[in-house]
Structure 1
Amino acid sequence: MWRVKSLDAILATAKKKSLHRSLGPIQLTLLGVGAIIGTGIFVLTAAAAQKAGPGMMWSFVIAGAVCAIAALCYSELASMLPVSGSAYTYTYAVMGELLAWMVGWALILEYAVAASAVSVGWSGYFLGLIENALHFHWPDALRSGPAWSMNGFIPVADFGAGVVNIPAILVALTVTALLVRGTTESARVNAILVVIKVTALTAFVILTLPVIKTGNFSPFTPNGWFGPHGTTGMGVVGAAASIFFAYVGFDAVSTAAEETKNPQRNVPIGLIGSLGICTIFYLLVAAGAVGAIGAQPVLALDGSVVQPGSAAFQAACATAANADRLVCSNEALAHVLREINWPVVGNLLGLAANLALPSVILMMIYGQTRIFFVMARDGLLPQSLANIHPKWKTPYIVTIFTGVCVAIAAAFFPVGQLADISNSGTLFAFFMVAIAVMVLRVKDPNRPRPFKTPAVWIVAPVAMVGCAGLYFNLPLESMLVLPIWGALGLVVYFAYGYRKSHVGRGITDEVHELDPDAPPTGVPGVD
């Protein structure tokens, strides 16, 4: 289980059973922007404000800094290994099959749950739009899932707040159908949606920055940096752990490496470029939202600090005094514009979110299916999952399976809790990538590196510390999901993957020279 799949073998396997290379640097950067800008800024702004108040400005900076240094580690490995699989593939090449399995298993959690979170975020904007623009009230039982709380270590559902989120189910299944049709078509649709999304956020900044009131920034950190004593996942750092979700789309760019033309050059461009563009937008939009109408947290009916999405939080938001607060909105940015007397533009921004958020769902499901695809290609999951559709050239079986799972999670969980659960898997994967880039510098120092992480012996350890620090500032239930999911993954690995692994059975694809222009072989229907 400590067996390593060499870099040459990984590249050879990708060549024999390959996905079609169709993405250029501009498309790849747009895919990154499409994956990054989304629920984090359109929706999680409210959840971050509940945790940190105006101090969420620092939360964006902290989360963005951790992502930036993780992106540098990702860029080096992605340029050396331009194949699908992201952190899973890198770990397999450096630290062995067992740890690679755990990373891949964590990435499955990350992408699938993230897609569910964005689906719920889209639902909030969809319902806000039809209620404000069309004056139609969607049935309460069908607008959200139940509110969840913890009784010790046992999750408890409160169905008084809602039963099932029907719009979230519909958007998840629609995006899945689009992905089954093909990568190139998905990228073209995404490019259009990115333009709409960036235009909407630009309009938000132009309208809110002139009406900023400095008084809305005080108190700046009402819950402190680490939250009141006895709480987990609150305060500025707790909000950063949640807001981290708003940045993680950049690693979906690396999962597209195998479908990228000239990946050694284009993958680092897509990673760093998309992250830089998005960080600027996040800070401007957050400043506009806080300054325009304020972002102070609400307290429970008994005066205590409460987590966003909890039953106590929803009870507090149900009171007339808190109904118009930013933290209580399911469509934060559109709500801000309506509050500063731009209702029409608010509705248009809601429409833009309805059009644009599916691009994030698209990239999350896209990334997750590619992780499944490459794990199946290595024999760690059933080979049928790696089957390519003869007409559309996509891994259609695993795409459909993923889409159904995403829809089920979106139907029954709130956006904030889904985002925190997704972050636990993401932070573990990023932590392992930071280790992998250092180990590979020692084990294979002479291998060509089209992109080299600067000051790697400083950057990679800082990335590890940053990821660990954010993980331990997640809410307790979100921290617990990762070890429980990991234990389930170990059962699957030893029951199936350990015995079926291609490396374990001696099935390798070693080559001494690869022709990057040669057509892929071995898969009927792929040309």
Structure 2
Amino acid sequence: MIFDRVKPLDAILATAQRKSLHRSLSGLQLMLFGIGCIIGTGIFVLTAAGAQKAGPGLMLAFVIAGAVCIVAALCYAEVAAMIPVAGSAYTYSYASMGEFLAWTVGWALILEYAVAASAVSVGWSGYFSGTILQEFFGITLPPWLAAGPLSLGGAPGGFINLPALVIALLVTWLLMIGTSESAKVNAVLVAIKVAALTAFIALTLTSPEFDAERFNPFLPAGFGGSFGSGLGAVGAAATIFFAYVGFDAVSTAAEETKDPQKNVPFGLIGSLLFCTVFYILVAAGAIGTIGGQPIMGPDGIPFPAGSEELARQCAMPQYAAALVCSDEALAHVLRQIGFSGIGNMLGIAAFLALPSVILVLIFAQTRIFFVMSRDGLLPERLSAVHPRWKTPHIVTMMTGLVVAIGAAFFPVGLLADYANAGTLYAFFMVAVTVMVLRRKDPARHRPFRMMGVWIVAPLTLAGCLYLYLNLPWQAIAVLPAWGLIGVLIYLGYSRRRSHLGRGIVEVVDDVAGEETMVPIHPPAQGS
């Protein structure tokens, strides 16, 4: 039976209990931590792509995506507080639904982390090329070095996005040699991001250029487009869902929170609501000052974001100032309304802050690979630690190369949609995990026990599925295609080499460096 292997939860929790992390975070601290984790790439990078899909309806898209994130976050919080160990949704699935489904989650997380890191790298490239090189040094990169090929939705004449390739490789090198970001530096970067966006909101909403007529029509592509079109408010929500990724880090902090039953929902919902309002105000400021109507095709339907057709339109003089054509949307808006200096400062804020996001995403991806390798599902060579650097250098190098290649040749909108497909699947499975564990192990101690689980978890399933089906058809197709490759690898390699299948459970504590070895009866021959 392919669903017969479930990792004993007792072994995982035995390791988690030895961590004994001190509960010190209040609800307000958890909320502030969440705001710092969530505000980042999406709002700096995807505003233009979201506006091309929904126009002024981008504001509604933020509400839809935020609502799905709130119910998903509550599911995530219960499981993360209950099973506070490395591996994220992969480990949760292994302990509840078994090895095969856990493998599919771990495989999908590659889309969440590695592809997301590529998307952030492309976003960083836009601010580097537009603000640092062009505004400060008067250097304009030739089109063939500034974007991926035209066939993949890049700018006309694009061949390779060199800045995106370089930043991905640089961050990978830093991770390989063991350089980690300082908590103090990260706090400064968070403050810079929030200050820059606050200034953007204040300047745009009070600008004489602000005109409410620019919001009409509010939904030029409708509420939701047809299946696989990725258009309308729901299609935009499926894309800018990327702007909320990071709240799962808040969920994993549940084990360090005082009175988690009260403070976890306060921190999660508070941070998501704050970010949603913040995002709506940013979108309103951008659209109200320079407009955000999509560029329509001859059939009255917006050109797909990141498409060859849109790239051709954006190369025309009449669209040079359009929000939907900018690679550095927020800085571009401020320049258009006469605040070039502050716009450049916002560009610098993105330039400084986004590499730390790339670092966190690649780090998270390597740790998922690391745990899967330690379980025997991937070659154990991948979990080798460099004798000098003390990092999993092989898996870090492989991950970084994949990230760099994606960043070099694909547009940011398409990469974000691919990443969202993997993320939505992982969140879907976390909601399933919550319900399975409630049925299988109702008496287990839960530091945070979600109220109304049989309402919230199904809402999470429905919300994730709804957003997934409103992604562009390429992103919808990439998840099953990627999953099929993963299933073939699992059946051809991973299943017969699995430690659990050979009768050994090994749980590695990523904080204390301890491991638990639990012998179990090996499965019958041929299973």
TM-score norm. by structure 2 comes to: 0.88
Q: Are the counterparts in 1 of residues 59 and 284 from structure 2 also a CA contact under 8 Å?
A: yes
Q: CA separation in 2, counterparts of 1:483 and 1:522?
A: 34
* Offset, 1:196: 1.3
1:203-253 C-alpha deviation (Å, 9 max, x unpaired): 1111111123211111100111123x6871111111111111111222245
| 1:185 to 1:245, Cα distance in 2 relative to 1, 3 A | closer
Report the CA distance between 1:161 and its aligned residue: 3.4
1:296 to 273, 293, 297: 293
Whether 2:498 is the aligned partner of 1:496: answer no
Contact 1:381/1:497, CA 8 A, preserved across alignment: yes
Residue 175 of structure 2: SS of its match in structure 1?
A: helix
Alignment of 1:67-466 (within 5 A): 67-129=69-131, 130-148=133-151, 160-182=156-178, 185-211=181-207, 212-227=210-225, 232-253=229-250, 274-300=271-297, 304-389=301-386, 393-466=390-463
Question: Could you tell me whether the CA contact under 8 Å between 1:145 and 1:164 is conserved in 2?
Answer: yes
8 A Cα contact 1:80 1:448, kept in partner: yes
Q: Distance in 2 between matches of 1:98 and 1:501?
A: 11
Match of 1:42 in 2: 44
Match of 1:468 in 2: 465
Q: Which AA in structure 1 matches 2:142?
A: P
Q: Are the counterparts in 1 of residues 114 and 399 from structure 2 also a CA contact under 8 Å?
A: yes
Alpha carbons of structure 1 residues 261 and 71: separation in structure 2 relative to 1, 3 Å: closer
Name the amino acid aligned to 2:82.
M
Q: Distance in 1 between matches of 2:299 and 2:96?
A: 52
Deviation (angstroms), 1:193: 1.5
Work out the CA distance in 2 between the residues paired with 1:497 and 1:431. Answer: 23
Which residue of 63, 66, 86 maps to 1:64? 66
Q: Give the superposition deviation at 1:504.
A: 0.9
Partner of 1:508, secondary structure, is strand
Which runs of 5 or more residues in structure 2 are unaligned?
517-527
Cα offsets for 1:169-196 (capped at 9, x unmatched):
1111222233335586454432222121
Q: Is the 8 A contact 1:35 1:359 kept in 2?
A: no
CA-CA distance at 1:303 after TM superposition: 5.8
The residue type equivalent to 2:140 in the other structure is: H
Please give the alpha-carbon distance, in whole angstroms, between the structure 1 residues aligned to 2:465 and 2:196. 34
Gaps of 5+ in 1: 150-156
3-state SS of paired residue (2:58)? helix
Whether contact under 8 Å (2:181, 2:356) holds in the other structure is: no
The DSSP-based 3-state class of the residue aligned with 1:295 is coil
**Alpha carbons 1:147, 1:413 under 8 Å: kept:** no
Say if 1:105 and 1:306 are closer, same or farther in 2 by CA, change over 3 A: same
Distance 1:401 1:187, change over 3 A: farther
Query: Which amino acid is the alignment partner of residue 200 of structure 1?
Result: A
Distance 1:448 1:23 in 2: 16
Shift of residue 488, structure 1, vs aligned partner = 0.5
1:125 touches 1:354 (CA, 8 Å); kept in 2? yes
Alpha-carbon spacing, 1:24–1:197, altered in 2? closer, same or farther (3 Å): farther
Q: SS in structure 2 opposite 1:505?
A: coil
- 2:104 counterpart letter in structure 1: M
Distance 2:478 2:489 in 1: 17
- Counterparts in 2 of 1:274 and 1:173: CA distance versus 1, 3 Å: farther
Asked if the contact 2:229/2:472 (under 8 Å) is kept, the reply is yes
Does the CA-based 8 Å contact 1:249-1:364 persist in structure 2?
Answer: no
Distance 1:158 1:273, change over 3 A: closer
Whole-angstrom distance in 2 between the partners of 1:181 and 1:28:
31
CA RMSD of aligned residues (A): 3.1
Query: Using the alignment, how far apart are the partners of 1:383 and 1:201 within structure 2?
Result: 44
Letter in 2 for 1:225: F
Partners of 1:290 and 1:105 in 2: how far apart?
38
Contact 1:34-1:190 within 8 A present in 2 as well: no
C-alpha separation in 2, matches of 1:183 and 1:9? 32
Deviation at 1:298, TM superposition (A): 0.8
User: Identity across aligned pairs (percent)?
Assistant: 60
**Preserved CA contact (<8 Å) 1:31 1:187:** no
1:301–1:316: 8 Å Cα contact kept in structure 2?
no
Counterpart CA distance in 1 for 2:412 and 2:346 is: 19
Opposite residue 108 of structure 2, the aligned amino acid is A
The match for 1:4 among 3, 6, 15 is 6
Q: d(CA) in 2 for partners of 1:497 and 1:241?
A: 32
Q: Distance in 2 between matches of 1:142 and 1:256?
A: 41
| Structure 1: distance between partners of 2:397 and 2:259 | 31
Deviations 1:283-305 (A, max 9, x none): 22112111121100012477653
Q: 1:399 to 1:267 in 2, by over 3 A?
A: farther
Whether the 8 Å CA contact 2:147–2:155 is kept in 1: the answer is no
Offset at residue 369 of structure 1 (A): 1.4
CA distance in 2, matches of 1:111, 1:23: 28
Q: Secondary structure at the match of 1:429?
A: helix
Residues 25-46 of structure 1: CA deviation (Å, up to 9, x unaligned): 5998777545422221111110
* Matched-pair contact (CA < 8 Å) for 1:37–1:360: no
Tell me the residue number matched to 1:154. Answer: none
Instruction: State the SS of the aligned residue for 1:379.
Output: coil
| Cα gap change, 1:234 to 1:387, in 2 (>3 Å) | same
DSSP 3-state at the match of 1:435: helix
CA shift for structure 1 position 326: 0.4
SS class of match (1:463): helix
Give, in whole Å, the separation in 1 of the partners of 2:276 and 2:489. Answer: 38
Q: 1:517 to 1:235 in 2, by over 3 A?
A: closer
Match in the other structure for 1:152: none
Deviates more, 1:246-255 or 1:55-64: 246-255
The 5 A counterparts of 1:482-521 are: 482-508=479-505, 519-521=512-514
Q: 1:132 to 1:254 in 2, by over 3 A?
A: same
Give the partner amino acid of 1:217.
F
Aligned partner of 1:468: which letter?
L
CA contact (8 A) 1:251 1:271 kept: no
State the aligned residue count: 507
Structure 2: how far apart are the matches of 1:452 and 1:87?
18
